[in-house]
Amino acid sequence: MSVGFAYLTAVLFPVIAGLYIWMRKPFRKWKSTCTYVGVALLVSLLFSVYCFCLPNTTVELFAVTDKLKVVFGLDEMGRIFLVLTEIVWLLTGIYSFSYMEKERHINRYFGCYLVTLGVLVGLCCSANLITMYAFYEFLTLASFLLVLHEQTHEAVMAALKYLFYSFFGAYCALFGIFFLLQYTESLDFMPGGILVSTEVMEHRELLLLCLFFMILGFGVKAGMFPLHAWLPTAHPVAPAPASAVLSGIIVKAGVLAIIRTVYYVFGASFVRDTWVQYAFLVLTLITVFMGSMLAFREPVLKKRLAYSTVSQLSYILFGIALLDTVSLTGSLFHVLAHGFIKVTLFLCAGAIIHQTGATRVDELRGIGKKMPVTIWCFTIVSLGLIGIPPTGGFISKWFLAVGALESEMKTFAIAGPVVLLVSALLTAGYLLPVTIRGFLPGDDFDYAKLKKEEPSLFMTVPILIMTVITVLLGICPNPVRDYITEAITLLF
């Protein structure tokens, strides 16, 4: 199999499979639907594994002009995001087999689910700015239908809000790309940047403005202040497995796009000690604190988790903005840790809703007695999100804090760890009450009416697997850390 055909197949197979199941008549038996989707997810995983094993080469599919080209290639950075995407997509798909059984529009849901996977694979495999931007736009259109799935008034309005915010952000990024065309010889990603040195000296301020617009635009998908409001509106209205991949994976598209922009297009040396770096750092710290505060005050469980995503994603962006090897290692480690943790939290929330119908935190009294396995998993990954060992969240936040303290930016070396610590305390304040209420309901709790309400194995097993992965990332972090270190070696 040629390299170009391998990349194309990895992208197009889930898209074609998704369109097929979307357009065909519903299967007569639910098992047939699950079998088809399961096979499609497994085959997609195999194609991605094949691409993962390919050498670091790029393949040009076609070109409109010398700079407007569609180019595929998978480097270490793309592999990190691809591994996370495929694992989470497979496990959440299995979870969906039980969760979505009684829902409406099943074909459309699984069709969009597979199409979105194909687009994400294309985003991870993009080797230049044009290809990445095209898949970034396609991702908005594909995931928009996941938000819209319930077709209630609330879902429609949330989906439209998501669409408008995403398009505005994409157009901000496009503004920067238009200007970049004049100051680069190629838009292919290159560690250290692709700017022509002579042009940088003459048009530095204009290029900095382009960079800021691109960070702000791609930051919309990552929920960065001030364009974060779509996220806590859109994620809670989607079905739980869709909310899980939205909060755990799809928002990481914004993170990947910002990493590519800062380190592979402009270069860390160009960004360092500029007003753009300072503005970027300020926005991330505002988002970290604000997201945690809003989550702490939110009574609806899924919306609380959505606000948490706003905060936790800016942990990642803060490490990126510091332009330091240690902090960037923490950011990329948190990409993986947060992905598994947040997906697990949303799947646990979905299991609670599916089994009991409870949506608010104050309705979860005694839930640990009814669903002990689910709530224990919720508790363990919550500790990871707070940053308590032995979980992956502790490792990533340790690197972020150390990177900030070792940085030469004195103000942010102090402000960064302080904000991260306060946010961690707030995270404990909005997640652990679920555990406390769940396992310690009080003496007046009616134990006589207590009955076990654990979900099916299709829902429980994915939750357990991702909980185990969260712990393994904390117990055995070295292989992942070493791979990340190799991925960022050439960026500085």
In this predicted structure, which of 87-91, 146-150, 431-435 has the lowest mean pLDDT? Answer: 146-150
CA distances from 173 to 170, 206, 455 (A): 5, 14, 43
164-195 pLDDT, tens digit per residue, is: 999 899 899 998 888 888 888 788 888 888 88
CB 345 within 8 A of CB 88: no
Average pLDDT, the chain: 88
Give the 3-state secondary structure of 186-255: CCECCCCCCECHHHHHHCHHHHHHHHHHHHHHHHHHCCCCCCCCHHHHHHHHCCHHHHHHHHHHHCHHHH
Specify which of 56-60, 105-109, 345-349, 369-373 reaches the highest per-range mean pLDDT: 345-349
CB 319 within 8 A of CB 285: no
pLDDT (0 to 100) of residue 358: 85
CB 467 within 8 A of CB 377: yes
pLDDT average, residue stretch 438-450: 72
Give the percent of the chain with pLDDT over 70.
Answer: 97
Alpha helices per DSSP H over 246-300: 252-259, 268-271, 275-297
Q: What is the C-alpha to C-alpha distance for residues 472 and 467, in angstroms, rounded to an integer?
A: 9
Phi and psi angles of residue 276, each rounded to the nearest 5 degrees, phi first: -65, -45
pLDDT (0 to 100) of residue 448: 59
Specify the long-range contacts of residues 25-29, CB closer than 8 Å, at least 24 apart: 26/106, 26/107
pLDDT average, residue stretch 353-363: 86
400 membership: H or E segment, kind and range: helix 392-406
**Which residues lie below 8 Å from residue 293, measured CB to CB, with a gap of 6+?**
426
pLDDT (0 to 100) of residue 57: 80
Give the DSSP letter string of 102-169. T-S-HHHHHHHHHHHHHHHHHHHTB-BHHHHHHHHHHHHHHHHHHHHTT--HHHHHHHHHHHHHHHHH
pLDDT (0 to 100) of residue 34: 83
In this predicted structure, which of 68-72, 382-386, 424-428 has the lowest mean pLDDT? Answer: 68-72
Dihedral sign for Cα 413, 416, 422, 425, please: negative
Domain ranges for the chain, please list them.
272-492
pLDDT (0 to 100) of residue 327: 93
pLDDT band at 428 (very low <50, low <70, confident <90, very high): very high
3-state secondary structure of 69: strand
pLDDT average, residue stretch 299-323: 92
Q: Is the pLDDT of residue 461 over 60?
A: yes
pLDDT (0 to 100) of residue 1: 57
CA distances from 441 to 297, 353, 382, 422 (A): 21, 19, 19, 28
Q: Is the pLDDT of residue 103 over 80?
A: no
CB neighbourhood size of 155 (10 A): 18
Tokens of 489: 């070696």
Q: Is the pLDDT of residue 444 over 90?
A: no
Helices (H) and strands (E) in the chain, counts: 21, 2
Amino acid identity at 357: G
Supply the DSSP symbol for 264: I
Q: Is the pLDDT of residue 314 over 70?
A: yes
CB 81 within 8 A of CB 256: yes
Residue with tokens 């117990």: 475
pLDDT average, residue stretch 362-375: 87
pLDDT average, residue stretch 312-341: 93
Q: Is the pLDDT of residue 95 over 90?
A: yes
60 membership: H or E segment, kind and range: strand 58-63
In this predicted structure, which of 20-34, 264-278, 348-362 has the lowest mean pLDDT? Answer: 20-34
Specify which of 16-30, 143-157, 423-437 reaches the highest per-range mean pLDDT: 423-437
Q: Is the pLDDT of residue 147 over 60?
A: yes
- State CA 18 to chain mean position distance: 21
pLDDT band at 342 (very low <50, low <70, confident <90, very high): very high
Give the percent of the chain with pLDDT over 90.
Answer: 50
3-state secondary structure of 448: helix
Q: Is the pLDDT of residue 78 over 60?
A: yes
Q: What is the C-alpha to C-alpha distance for residues 476 and 88, in angstroms, rounded to an integer?
A: 20
Rounded to two decimals, the pTM is 0.93
Amino acid identity at 476: C
3-state secondary structure of 328: helix
pLDDT band at 449 (very low <50, low <70, confident <90, very high): low
Alpha helices per DSSP H over 298-324: 301-321
Alpha helices per DSSP H over 24-69: 30-52
pLDDT (0 to 100) of residue 477: 92
CA distances from 27 to 21, 94, 407 (A): 9, 17, 57
- State the Rg of the chain over Cα: 22
pLDDT average, residue stretch 209-223: 92
pLDDT (0 to 100) of residue 6: 84
In this predicted structure, which of 6-15, 55-64, 139-148, 219-228 has the lowest mean pLDDT? Answer: 55-64
Expressed in percent and rounded to 5, the helix, strand and coil fractions of the chain are: 75, 5, 20
23 versus 139: the higher-pLDDT residue is 139
Q: Is the pLDDT of residue 405 over 60?
A: yes
Q: Is the pLDDT of residue 27 over 90?
A: no
